[in-house]
Structure 1
Amino acid sequence: MDSEVARERALDAAEGLFYARGVRAVGMDEVRGASGVSLKRLYQLFPAKEQLVVACLDRRDLRWRGRLAEYVGRHEEPGARVLAVFDWLGVWFAEPGFRGCAWINAYGELGPASPAVAERVRAHKAAFRAFLDTLAAGAGLPAALGGQLFLLAEGAMVTAGVTGEAEPARQAREAARVLLGAAGVSRPAPRR
């Protein structure tokens, strides 16, 4: 097995295990067993578990933000694009095996002890915030609204992760709709 195939198998296995059970609960030997990559090769690819965690977060970030942008991009009206973020969160929260935000989970487990993980979490959250700021600007909204939308989305993520329910996305969407209306965006219809 060449290095790229081994790397992808290791990342697939580690990401699934870390997300389902937590980073600290999963050892490198378990990643080896789930991936079929020898322990020697695994440590050649990722000399430390922290490097494997960072690589998983980086790869997941690209997929997560890509899926979000693709979903939001289906909407033409700027206000609808903002609200589509919360619709997408609801779809994500309802996925089988949803266990909250991988970056919040990783930060909760490792952030204070791992500057590399903390940096990746901050970078992901900053990119998400910038995406919301861009959507808000595109809808002609005050600059401060991007931060408010960010807090609504992040609160929904944490709440959905804790409760295991998709309802926080709908509640955050309704709050975002009220914010848009208060900012002068024509009142988008409530989602049915």
Structure 2
Amino acid sequence: MGSRGVFEVTDAVDPHERVVRAADQLFNAHGVHAVGMDKVRDAAGVSLKKIYSMFPSKEALILAVLEDRTRQWNAGIAACADGLSSPREKLLAVFDFLLEWFGTDEFRGCAFINAYGELGAEMPSVAAAVRAQKADFQRYVAGLVAELGAPDGLGAQLSILAEGAQTTAAIAGSVRAADDARAAAEALIDQALR
């Protein structure tokens, strides 16, 4: 899921944003099932009545958090690719983004993979949101691979490397997976262009 850096929930003035940030932090730290709306209320400093007026159910709040994570992910990748001109550099910037994100205190793995693992079977809307984010990322990578003039299959390979790095880093508690995945990506790109 993306990196916005460490922030205080109270920094957000807008109650909607405060609730989404608080829920995101809590879900990330404890898992979705372990977090009740009362914990979100306490962390956000917003009444339950107000929360339910913005999010009629916990499912709606989960979807809002995933939507915000999609924005964070896209912004993080865009920031790492900013100023780079070649598709190769932009593809490798994905792994630079992962390295930066894995080094943050709040990294607990991909929020989308975590949400899918916890809720995918019981909440089709969550499964659909996760699939949409993953498909969007795959399209981004495939677009850069097409610009590079490399075979289509390279996009899927690089996407799988990025996804696997997230899981490996979360389990190992190490940023090394980003470096290893970047090295593998460089080798795959170079081989594809031969």
- Structure 2 length-normalised TM: 0.90
Relative contact order (alpha carbons < 8 A, sep ≥ 6): 1 or 2 greater? 2
Match of 2:81 in 1: 72
Length, aligned pairs only: 182
Q: State the Cα RMSD in Å.
A: 1.3
Give the number of the structure whose alpha-carbon radius of gyration is greater.
1
Aligned counterparts, 1:1-192, within 5 A? 5-184=14-193
Q: Structure 1 residue 53: deviation in Å?
A: 0.4
Post-superposition shift, 1:70? Answer: 2.2
**Post-superposition CA distance 1:10-33 (Å, at most 9, x none):** 111111111111101110000001
Q: Deviations over 1:40-78 (max 9, x none)?
A: 111121121111000010011112112202211332122
Shift >2 Å, 4+ stretches:
none
Report if aligned partners of 2:80, 2:96 keep a CA contact under 8 Å in 1. no
Structure 1 stretches lacking a partner, 5+ long: 186-192
The one-letter code of the counterpart of 1:183 is A
Structure 2: state its 5+ residue gaps.
Answer: 1-12
Q: Distance in 1 between matches of 2:82 and 2:135?
A: 20
**Could you tell me how far apart the structure 2 residues matched to 1:30 and 1:96 are?**
21
Provide TM-score, normalisation by structure 1: 0.91
* Aligned counterparts of 1:184 and 1:64: Cα–Cα separation in 2: 28
Query: CA–CA distance in 2 between the matches of 1:141 and 1:150?
Result: 14
Question: How high is the sequence identity, in percent, across the aligned residues?
Answer: 48
Aligned-pair CA distance for 1:159: 0.6
Report what 2:10 is aligned to: none
